[in-house]
Structure 1
């Protein structure tokens, strides 16, 4: 199965590197292109057998599965210009949430899938979110599910929960990285610990927490119960969090959904559906 990547920015590069290092595909099966070809050649420097194509048309022609890894408003012009190349035997995979699978299907004959990856996939971990089009052939559903199984735990989602699922899986690492950095900064400012040591301890704590949850030793609530000894120090810290956080996460989801609605309106104007 030959893979084409249109766009090798942050997420495109992360996805390509994950597929290659997870041995989901061999380098010789991958073709890439980017508006700035130098970015595409960086991937070839690491994996010499990867083919850098001069443009989008060449990438589509050389590939069975074409991943479009560009900004939401850049997808329509690509599909509009190259629709005839996305033939019925090919599979188109978009990785952006504001463009729906029905919108993709309105422009091309290829089997269409939306796959929302996470930066955690770069470590061959975490979740990827998959939505299959109504016209998507079963062979491509199986192929793409299997492909993402090499780098993640693929989860099927319906359109209605696309944004919140993406907030948790794709945006979540950035949100919790921010909270962790604030946690570290406060520790450094309020105590005698230095930033390097606080960062190491916090990182190892997060890795350990992940392992506890992954292995099913505790749920989040039971973990808190185990650590929070009655009248102890952890409980005092939890009280501060309860008072300080308030509705911050409610506001977070409200903000991401408001931005998502703006993006949806713009793509609807482009696609007409």
Structure 2
């Protein structure tokens, strides 16, 4: 497989580095095209991958092309992609608000298109990525692309109709989690701990709790109950959070992200 990246900014670069470090692809099979030639040359030198000066050059060389540009760039780049697109190639998009149907309008109804929604923990190989495909993508092609995103964390295949939900629950949710960590750390500072140490205590506790959910398979509600000894400190904190509307507040933030995603896709 020859893999191409049109745009390799923070997210695209994280995906590229993660997949290379997995050892499942060699640098000689990777091609990158970007607008900033200075950054492109630096990246290609660092990772020993091929740099392409034009989209045409990259399209001619690659079997799987990851579209790592912002949504507002699609009207500019997609005509160039379409010019050299062939039906054996797979296009992978991670742009919010750009549907599979939007892309097929440029490259035709027979094109193989996959839409993904990773999140920023890709930078530490702990991403959660949704992967959706159209009917033209065969299982073998899909598996190759799916493997790319498994190399930077976890991936799940979902119907594209769930993409707005995905954005609420994982695409945007690292930001809510950072807010939670910061709030815990600030509370610890107010109780005498220095900020740097407080962030470590809060962040490690979030990491550990998340691993408990993923590795034990126990429902989060039950895990919460298990921690709450009657009359103890944890049940006191949980009751206070519930009284203040903690659950409803988080769900409101989630829904706001979902509704914004829907408006972006209109």
Question: Quick check: TM above 0.5?
Answer: yes
* Cα distance, 1:139–1:76 mapped onto 2, change above 3 Å: farther
d(CA) in 1 for partners of 2:74 and 2:226? 49
What is the Cα-based RMSD across aligned positions, in Å? 1.9
Give the total of aligned pairs. Answer: 263
Residues 24, 95 of structure 1: alpha-carbon distance in 2 compared, 3 angstrom cutoff: farther
- 1:227–1:234 CA contact under 8 A, matched in 2: yes
**Is the CA contact 1:15–1:117 (under 8 Å) kept in the aligned structure 2?**
no
**In structure 2, the residue corresponding to 1:52 is in which secondary structure?**
strand
Instruction: Quote the residue 1:129 is aligned against.
Output: 130
Instruction: Check the 8 A contact 1:105/1:133 in 2, yes or no.
Output: no
Q: TM-score, normalised by structure 1?
A: 0.88
What aligned pairs does 1:10-89 form with structure 2 within 5 A after superposition?
A: 10-47=10-47, 49-89=48-88
The runs of 5 or more residues in structure 2 that have no matched partner are none
SS in 2 for 1:106: helix
Tell me which residue corresponds to 1:268: none
Contact 1:100 1:114 in 2 (8 A): yes
CA distance, structure 2, for counterparts of residue 45 and residue 184 of structure 1? 39
Q: Give the TM-score of the pair, scaled to structure 2.
A: 0.90
| SS at structure 2 position matched to 1:70 | coil
1:249 equivalent to 2:258? Answer no
Which shifted more, 118-127 or 173-182?
A: 118-127
- SS in structure 1 opposite 2:172? helix
Structure 2 contact 55–80 (Cα < 8 Å) conserved: no
Deviations along 1:192-212, one digit per CA (max 9) or x if unpaired, are 111121112122222222332
The answer as to whether partners of 2:7 and 2:67 remain within 8 angstroms in 1 is: yes
CA deviations on 1:24-59 (whole Å, 9 max, x unpaired) are: 322111111212122323322431x21111122222
Identify unmatched segments of 5+ residues in structure 1.
266-273
Taking structure 1 as reference, are residues 185 and 85 closer, same or farther at Cα in structure 2, changes over 3 Å only?
same
The corresponding residue for 1:104 is 103
Q: Distance in 2 between matches of 1:168 and 1:60?
A: 33
Residue deviations 1:112-157 (CA, integer Å, cap 9, x gap): 1112122233333343211111222343122212333333332111
- Return the alpha-carbon distance in structure 2 between the equivalents of residues 206 and 82 of structure 1: 42
Once residues 210 and 79 of structure 2 are traced to their aligned partners in structure 1, the CA distance between those partners, rounded to angstroms, is 43
